[in-house]
A and B are shown apart, each in its own frame.
Chain A
Amino acid sequence: MSGRDKLLDWARTRPGESVQEAQERRLAKAWETPTGWRYWSAVNNTEVGLWYTVCAFLFFLFAGVLALIMRAQLAVPDNDLVTADQYNQLFTLHGSAMMFLFGVPSFEAFSILVLPQMLGARDLPFPRLSAFGFWCFLIGGVFVCGSIYFDAAPKGGWFMYPPLATEYQDGYGNDIWLLGLSFIEIASIAAAVELIVGALKTRPPGMRINLMPLYAWYVLVVAGMILFAFPPLIAGDLLFEMQRAFDWPFFDPDRGGDPLLWQHLFWIFGHPEVYIIFLPAIALVATMIPAFAQRPLVGYSWVVLAAVGTGFISFGLWVHHMYTTGLPNVSLGFFSAASVSVAIPTGVQLFCFIATMLVGRATGNVPMLWVSGAFAVFVLGGLTGVMVALAPFDFQAHDTYFVVAHLHYVLVGGVVFPILGAIHYFYPLVGGRSLSPRLGKIAFWLAFVGFNLAFWPMHISGLRGMPRRVFTYEPGMGLELLNLVSTIGAFTLATGLAVFLWDVIRPKGRQPVSARNPWNAGSLEWATKIPPPPWGARTIPAVSSRYPLWQQENFVADYDAGRFYLPDAEEVKRETIITTVIDARPIQCLRVPGPAWLTMIAAGFAGGFFILGTFELYALAITCGALATATILAWLWTGTAVEPEKEEKDIGLGVTVPLYASGPASVGWWAMFITMIGDMAAFAGIVFGYYFFWTVHPEFPPPGSRGPGWEWPTIALAILVLAWAVTMGAQKAIRGGRERLGIALLAACLVLGPVGVAALAAGPWLTGMDPTAHAYPATVWVLVLWTGIHLAIGFVAHAYCLARALAGRLTARRDIDIRNTTLYWHFMFATVLVTVATIGGFPLVS
């Protein structure tokens, strides 16, 4: 039998089989998880989300062990358990791994795992993108962490301040940090795009925006923050690596650079990062509290307010990491004001949770214990946070152990404890069996007591004058006892985590499968049977309340009987429903792709590009980059915009929706739009560099230096605007059915783009601007470079569309490729305009 015949055979209802049995059999076939070694080609959110979560947790344990070594070193004064150099590697890697390999990824991992369940969707809209992100994360994470076994780990601190990290530390460590983590940041952004589209477009029919689970609100806010916070760091990484590898002096004061530029770019990322890590944990609390109290959360809108408000205000805090850099008092004041205001939404959330407990009937259980412990710890961290938000207090506390205590109270109380509670809470949903309440309590109390023993004394150590990041301290300063207690506490905390870990991994074969909905929760993810079947939702529900399991009659019975949408997979294909953003009206039945190796291969080549680049093997790196691009193109060609066998599909309950969509109705268009917003944020980071230099230098461009002139940039602008216009013309032609005209116009774009790039580069090239001479030419060149790389991607997009059109796959009715390309070029127009205005126009007016 051919593959098609086999599928047709599966699609037929068999004799003696009830309708429901046949539906479930077809769903199971469509969503079947590959077995054997092919298991690793899975892309479904339940597999990828689980791998992702497990890996993030392993990196957490790894970073925790590094911390234990540090605590052992500091247990007594003048200790020599590790050398200064090793210690510096330890704390750098501890911070970097906790932030980049645990904090952010654990949110994304967990959201990939449970968001579709919470939305009653079968999968996220781009499963292969999730898988690609996961493999990138794994490769990058192992690369960065593995370096310590070769005594080659980064040692510039997780903040990597130049000039120490650029010019005073040799070896590959800091390059590993830069390139390895840039690679992971790209994966993080990919996951953020996926989650935003998921929360906005894959909600079940009827789940209007006022009914969306709070977790999804937080996902939206946090993913949005990632989109604006990570790109400036990627821009900073680019500048940093250009300095380390090619001596472009962005941070070298002798040649017009400024170390503070890095601090700005880093903390524009670094402070929102804290909230990017913290808000998802609060989202978990907001998800669990109603189940503890057995009633809906009090103050839904207030929590939405808090999430959105925190998201915004957290971008106005970055300079509070730079209070002691000598900036004017007035600037410190502004950031102090914002740092203080961000406490308001945090307080609101906390009181909404307390209020819910007050009106409900509390059910004491282990997850609630973790949440209660989290409150006690986090509130103290928040209060010390208000202290360090005040510049005068921070002048003393900054870079001391007081801040170490503060940040661990915030991040362990605000993040780790809620996550551990959530693992206990959600474990049955993923693993099918419950964790042990007894072990859970032991783990909690060990961790809680250990944590406070470890970190509370650090407040005092800091006030007694112990700076951060010291590999040793001398006796007699009143620090011995405090540090010894901290070390004992750290090992107690580690024991608690070990008990927790044992509870998670211990064999549970003889233990009965957990009851369905064991916490009697009201939210959608608990509708599923346990252990959960691979298809996710048995049927995509019609939702009319915030807690369907509590508030909609017969919900579970209807759900089990498949009485909602898409109860079947008639064509044995993976399908989920796309709905509108505000009112969640169904508008498309989306076919999502199944298992594939391409994503893993693409991630492997992309990893090769970054890893080989780290070791200056540029030829091999570029080869890997080209192969990664080719793999991704193959993936796009075979896996996206697939021609459906029919135009529309009846998804049940009398609703028929199209199978193909393009433009704003399609998820692909949204993904492109959101990605490009993030891209603009990175571009803004680089442009910020240019104007930053103008602000800090008495004269910029420096007197006597030659700029690129205005002529060539203007010519480039004209050509590239033409390319943009022709792209729009090609879209119009193709959508109007004049495909041959469209092909001709696309071909013209293939010429215009490169000519435009050449004209853009001609300015600085012909005037002989040397990027290693001074920060001014370096900044001009990096803008040209950035724009050039983006136009090269635009070129690939044009070529792809041309090939699709020639292959007959890009037509008036199947136009998603050209529409996304045009959207990309709208952003290219903005990029080119700003670049030209900055490098060609600004020297004339300044």
Chain B
Amino acid sequence: MAAPPDDTLAALLGESSVLAPAGRSAAAIAELSWWLFGGATLIWLVVIGLSIYAAYFGPRAHDEAKVRLLVVGGGAVIPTLVLAGVLAWGLWLMPQVKPPLPQGAVEIEVEGLQWWWRARYRAETGETAVPVANELALPVGRPAVLRLTSPDVIHSFWVPALAGKMDMIPGRETVIVLEPTRTGVFRGACAEYCGASHALMSFAVLVMEPAAWEAWLARQAAPAEPPASAAAQRGMAVFTEYGCGACHAIRGTEADGDVGPDLTHVGSRRTLAAGALPNTPDDYVRWISDVHEVKPDANMPPFGMLPEGDLAALALYLDGLT
């Protein structure tokens, strides 16, 4: 397929192929996969060739004693040996694809919610954790330990290019280890059916050089900068007036809600609403005024009653929170 234009949602969310791995675990699985596909093709050709020969081209009456050997050999012995080998390989791979928790890893707590992602980077120097939403960044070459939970229903955390998936189960904490091996943007998605908008629950993982990642994290940890333009200042007032802060936090302002995504740096994200929209001022307008058109049953109430000017100002403000 031709590469998509850069500003489409798919391009913003990044690569998402199991067979183009960018992480250790995914690479191990991809290698296993190619061998399995090759072996399966071979077996399929032999077995189906044999059965077509037997059913449509076979000369009459093969010797039954010899055919019995075929049943024993082809039906029982060879499959047993092949399966034993494949099983052993699978078991041997397990510690690579689901490894013991590494030392010195980036530690992130990730929550899946209907239908977005909340994450907190655990601080390494005793400062408070850095909250982010719907977008993660990881340093290349260093393992990251993600502790996965869910406060509502079961979700599943999946970044095909980096690793297999891991469910997020209410009442439990599961762990996944990611170890990116090349930089890039990689798409993640919820893989467990989680209600009406299960299809609209994606996120991007930005894999960066360590220095760039440090800068990214520092940026995310910082409070929001006050709006510069008058229009954006009006947008900030609208934000306060309509009580958006009851659900959303913008660090550095009064808004400290904990129900929806932290918006401190929402303008810096590649997409809006967990991969449902690109991130332009128009998209903010669409999302805020018509939430349920974009994402059925989402918990945020639509604010279509806002005057057009207020809405545009609000969009401008949010878009500027980089």
B230 at the A interface (CB under 8 A): no
A473 with B199: CB separation less than 8 A? yes
Partner of B189, one of A253, A258, A467, A481: A467
B94 to chain A, nearest CB (A): 5
CA distance A529 to B187 in the complex (A): 65
The stretch from B80-88, B258-266, B282-290 touching chain A is: B80-88
Contact (A351, B199) CB under 8 Å given A399-B165, A476-B8: no
Known contacts A351-B75, A396-B165, A298 near B16 by CB under 8 Å: no
Cβ of A337 under 8 Å from chain B: yes
Once A343-B79, A351-B71, A354-B50 are accepted as A-B contacts, the answer to whether A393 and B189 lie under 8 Å apart by CB is no
The distance in angstroms between the C-alpha atoms of A475 and B8, with both chains bound, is 8
A336's partner among B19, B61, B90 (CB-CB below 8 A) is B90
Asked whether B222 is an interface residue with its Cβ less than 8 Å from the other chain, the reply is no
List CB contacts (< 8 Å) of B151-184 with chain A.
152-154, 156, 158, 160, 163-167, 169-172, 174-175
B228 at interface (Cβ–Cβ under 8 A)?
no
B75 touching A392, Cβ below 8 Å: no
With the chains together, A163 CA to B168 CA distance in Å? 12
Please tell me if the beta carbons of A368 and B154 are within 8 angstroms of each other in the complex.
no
- Cβ distance B112 to chain A, nearest Cβ, rounded Å: 12
How distant is A322 from chain B, measured CB to nearest CB, in Å? 8
**CB < 8 Å A-B pair total:** 276
Chain B residue with the shortest CB-CB distance to A322: B167
Q: What 1/0 flags go to A364-385 for Cβ under 8 Å of B?
A: 1000100010011001100110
Q: Kindly state the separation between the CA atoms of A698 and B193 in the bound complex, as whole angstroms.
A: 29
Contact B198 A470 (CB under 8 A): yes
- Given A392-B29, A392-B94, A476-B4, is A465 in contact with B160 using a C-beta cutoff of 8 Å? yes
**Interface check A471, CB cutoff 8 A:** yes
Q: Are A325 and B40 in contact (CB under 8 A)?
A: no
Q: Report the Cα distance A611→B70, complex, angstroms.
A: 54
Asked if B244 is at the interface (CB within 8 A of a chain A CB), the reply is no
Contact B199 A359 (CB under 8 A): no
Q: Given that A84-B296, A357-B54, A390-B32 are known contacts, is A164 also in contact with B64, CB under 8 Å in the complex?
A: no
**Which residue of chain A has its CB nearest to the CB of B3?**
A476
Q: How far is the CA of A168 from the CA of B74 in the complex (A)?
A: 50
Distance between Cα atoms of A573 and B57 in the complex (Å): 52
Q: How many residues on B have C-beta within 8 angstroms of the other chain's C-beta atoms?
A: 88
Check B170 against A379 for contact (C-beta < 8 Å): no
A344 at the interface (CB under 8 A from B): yes
- In the complex, the answer to whether A379 meets B10 with C-beta atoms within 8 Å is no
CA distance A354 to B43 in the complex (A): 15
In Å, the complex CA distance between A475 and B80 comes to 43
Q: Is A190 an interface residue (CB 8 A)?
A: no
Whether, in the assembled complex, B36 has its beta carbon less than 8 Å from a beta carbon of chain A, the answer is yes
Q: Mark A396-438, 1 if CB is under 8 A from B, else 0.
A: 1111100000000000000000000000000000000000000
The answer to whether B94 touches A332 (Cβ under 8 A) is yes
Residue numbers in A under 8 Å from B56 (CB-CB): 362, 364, 372
Supposing A84-B196, A347-B75, A465-B160 touch, asked if A477 and B16 sit within 8 A by C-beta, the answer is yes
Q: Which of B21-53 contact A (CB under 8 A)?
A: 25-26, 28-29, 32-33, 36, 40, 43-44, 47-48, 50-52
CA distance A362 to B93 in the complex (A): 45
The answer to whether B29 touches A395 (Cβ under 8 A) is: yes
- Residues on B with beta carbons closer than 8 Å to the beta carbon of A813: none
Contact between B170 and A259, CB atoms less than 8 A apart: yes
Q: Is B247 an interface residue (CB 8 A)?
A: no
The answer to whether A161 has its CB under 8 Å from any CB of chain B is yes
Contact B187 A465 (CB under 8 A): yes
For the A-B complex with A163-B154, A354-B51, A357-B54 known, give 7 more contacts whose Cβ atoms are closer than 8 Å: A88-B198, A333-B91, A358-B58, A362-B56, A375-B47, A387-B33, A464-B160
25 contacts between A and B (CB under 8 A): A84-B296, A257-B171, A258-B171, A260-B172, A324-B166, A332-B94, A344-B83, A350-B47, A351-B70, A351-B75, A354-B47, A354-B51, A354-B54, A359-B64, A362-B54, A362-B55, A364-B56, A375-B48, A395-B29, A395-B166, A396-B29, A399-B192, A463-B17, A464-B160, A476-B9
Ranked nearest first, the 4 interchain pairs of A and B with the lowest CB-CB distance are A395-B164, A253-B171, A476-B10, A351-B75
